[in-house]
Structure 1
Amino acid sequence: MNPLILLILVLSLMLGTLMTFILTNWLLIWVGLEINTMAIIPLMIYKQHPRAVEAATKYFLTQATASALLLFAGVSNAWLVGQWELTEMNQISSTLATFALALKIGLAPMHFWLPEVLQGITLTTGLILTTWQKLAPFAVLLQLHHMLNPNLLTILGLSSILVGGWGGLNQTHLRKILAYSSIAHLGWMVSILHYMPNLTLLNLIIYIILTSSMFIMLIHTNSTKINTLAPLMMKMPLMSTIMLMTLLSLGGLPPLTGFMPKWLILQELTKQNMVLTATIMALATLLSLFFYLRLCYTVSLTISPNLTLSPTTWQTPPTKSNFSLAIFMTMTTMMLPLTPLMLTLTM
């Protein structure tokens, strides 16, 4: 791709997201989301492959549907309330906006597009889709949190956690596993959105750190399936150890960074007298933890055949910079003591 075109697309991605951050007019927010969507589609198909074209088409149709529903919610709200401000919404329009934004980010039961789209694009574009593309819809949700229906958010959150756990059990493609992991993490964020939005923001930040770390490692090792991780311990022992720690952090095991957001969410739900909801969410986490541990087993305990005949990767000079991986890995494993400080900063 031409570097100038690539620069324009990246700047458009940033512009669309920043518009949703700083604006409160429904029409301008819709324009920002559309700019965001239109900018990432050429990045999906810059490698001319039928699977990438199919993924881009599915993504475009899904996002177009969500954008039309979101525009309808804004127009109906302006018709009933008399203004386009985001802070003045009626119950019907806020419910329609909730469904539209849930479709945009891939919450269950509107999640079917996310694994299929992520499977058909490159790892680098998948990194953008699972991290940066979540910021703009969540910026709108965080501004609307006090007007959203808590029961609807709880249903969407519980269904996403269950679907994310069940869907990832029988997958062998790493991108699909990360897609279902994304669905499960989004369910945790949405379930607490109405009661404590700053905790949702904290969970979103930590999710982006963990997912970015995992995608960067897959890009460095060029791994797309589980069986490609088997010889990693013998060829790249340090990288496999880092991947093992990241997977355990994604599963929410202490003393890693991913533990504290889940603990704080369960604590807040208990304070809101939602003990049953918190119990179901804690039990559903075991489903996600199972396929994380399966990946850990493949990375650390599986011995690949023909080791003596394969070239030793550690003897070849590295061709990629590990600076970004070092930063994300440090935050993935060692940010647990700083979580209360981060929660205070988000208030």
Structure 2
Amino acid sequence: LSTGTTIVLSSYHWLLAWIGLEINTLAIIPILTMTPHPRATEAATKYFLTQATASAVILFSSLINAWQMGEWSINSLTNFPMNALSVAIMMKLGLAPLHFWMPEVLQGISLSTGLILSTWQKIAPMTLLLQVSHLVDLNLMVVIGFTSVLIGGWSGIGQTQLRKILAFSSIGHLGWMVIVLKISPQLSLLNFLLYIIMTSSIFLSLMTISATKMTEIAISWPKAPAMTMSMMLILLSLAGLPPLTGFAPKLLITLELVKQDMLLIALSVMMISLLALFFYLRLTFILSLILPPNTASSSPIWRTSNKSLSPIAMINSLSLTLLPLSPTLLLLM
């Protein structure tokens, strides 16, 4: 995984970037099938087919561009190859309307593998998108970003499986990044970094309490009250509520859209984000305000685990308290 991502990060040549993406895809397939279950095999098959299709489109568009321009440089693309490439990268990222594989794949794998899929596997495609941000079509980015925020909020409302909820949450957050990609790539990069921190913290918290369904987080308070409290705040941070970390990217993106006289888009995206806020608040309500009956499954654990929670505590702190530092981080970029 690290080899493929490093090749993409260091490449200025489309063929090298494509090779890096292929190494990335082939490296995670055995990790997806690590769990001996038909759902894991199905998830790996779906992931491979979608990623292979997107890689074929990337290779096709780069070949057309090399034929037209006579070079393979990432920063020189004509109109049609650029649009085809943008769509292919967005399929790799799982952006709407090419998002259908993302919830199904996440549902069929473990939480630890889902963490890799939702964070590390997004780095290489997002890097390519940031490198060509000055060439992308603004209207295409706005339409895909707007659709992703809408689908990410609307589809997550009726879900009871936490992995599917996190998949739609990922789609919505990536939509915010794509909307502002053409206008301010630095702001999009800041949003991506904060997204990785917050998503990692919620996945690690769920792995600690071994919860994959809403009914399982409802009985987590007696078992791990401190972890449950921090997880509740992380969900509110993902929702973008002040004064938590997740509020910063939404505020900065909205201000940037207003500065570019895109008032209608800014207002529409903010209103649609209320859909996602609903299911975040629903999870928070289950975590904090529903006390389960005192059964054996909800009693405090008398034989605790010896594993260290220091890394989780550190990343949870980052996902909750980075709001004051966000303007400084943006200036440093």
For normalisation by structure 1, the TM-score amounts to 0.94
Matches of 1:58 and 1:144, distance apart in 2: 28
Is structure 2 residue 36 aligned with structure 1 residue 48? yes
Given candidates 189, 205, 209, the residue that maps to 1:217 is 205
RMSD, matched Cα: 1.0
Matches of 1:276 and 1:53, distance apart in 2: 44
Given candidates 301, 304, 319, the residue that maps to 1:332 is 319
Is structure 2 residue 266 aligned with structure 1 residue 278? yes
Task: State the AA in 2 paired with 1:292.
Answer: Y
Q: Note if contact 1:213-1:328 (Cα within 8 Å) is conserved in structure 2.
A: yes
Given candidates 241, 244, 259, the residue that maps to 2:229 is 241
Q: Secondary structure at the match of 1:195?
A: coil
Which digits, 9 at most, give the CA deviation of each residue in 1:10-64, with x for residues without a partner? xxx0011111111110001000000000000100001211000000000000000
Is structure 2 residue 122 aligned with structure 1 residue 151? no
The structural deviation recorded for 1:311 is 3.7
The structural deviation recorded for 1:321 is 1.7
Matches of 1:246 and 1:307, distance apart in 2: 27
Aligned residues: 333
Q: Secondary structure at the match of 2:77?
A: coil
Aligned to 1:127: 115
What are the residue-to-residue correspondences of 1:135-284 with 2, within 5 Å?
135-284=123-272
Which digits, 9 at most, give the CA deviation of each residue in 1:146-198, with x for residues without a partner? 00000000000000000000010000000000000000000000000000000
Matches of 1:316 and 1:241, distance apart in 2: 21
Q: Note if contact 1:220-1:320 (Cα within 8 Å) is conserved in structure 2.
A: no
The structural deviation recorded for 1:323 is 1.6
What are the residue-to-residue correspondences of 1:15-30 with 2, within 5 Å?
15-30=3-18
For normalisation by structure 2, the TM-score amounts to 0.98
The structural deviation recorded for 1:307 is 3.8
Is structure 2 residue 61 aligned with structure 1 residue 73? yes
Matches of 1:40 and 1:210, distance apart in 2: 22
Aligned to 1:6: none
The structural deviation recorded for 1:310 is 4.7
Q: Note if contact 1:189-1:204 (Cα within 8 Å) is conserved in structure 2.
A: yes
- Give structure 1 stretches of 5+ with no counterpart: 1-12
The structural deviation recorded for 1:304 is 1.1
Identity of aligned residues (%): 50
Given candidates 323, 326, 329, the residue that maps to 1:342 is 329
Task: State the AA in 1 paired with 2:36.
Answer: Q
Q: Secondary structure at the match of 2:271?
A: helix
Runs of 4+ in structure 1 deviating by more than 6 angstroms, as ranges, are: none
Given candidates 22, 29, 34, the residue that maps to 1:34 is 22
Q: Note if contact 2:39-2:109 (Cα within 8 Å) is conserved in structure 1.
A: yes
Matches of 1:92 and 1:214, distance apart in 2: 39
The structural deviation recorded for 1:247 is 0.3
Matches of 2:298 and 2:156, distance apart in 1: 31
Given candidates 275, 289, 296, the residue that maps to 1:287 is 275
Aligned to 1:105: 93
- Give structure 2 stretches of 5+ with no counterpart: none
Matches of 1:143 and 1:331, distance apart in 2: 27
Task: State the AA in 1 paired with 2:37.
Answer: H
Q: Note if contact 2:222-2:298 (Cα within 8 Å) is conserved in structure 1.
A: no
Which digits, 9 at most, give the CA deviation of each residue in 1:249-282, with x for residues without a partner? 0000000000010000000001111100000100
Matches of 2:296 and 2:52, distance apart in 1: 52
Matches of 1:126 and 1:227, distance apart in 2: 20
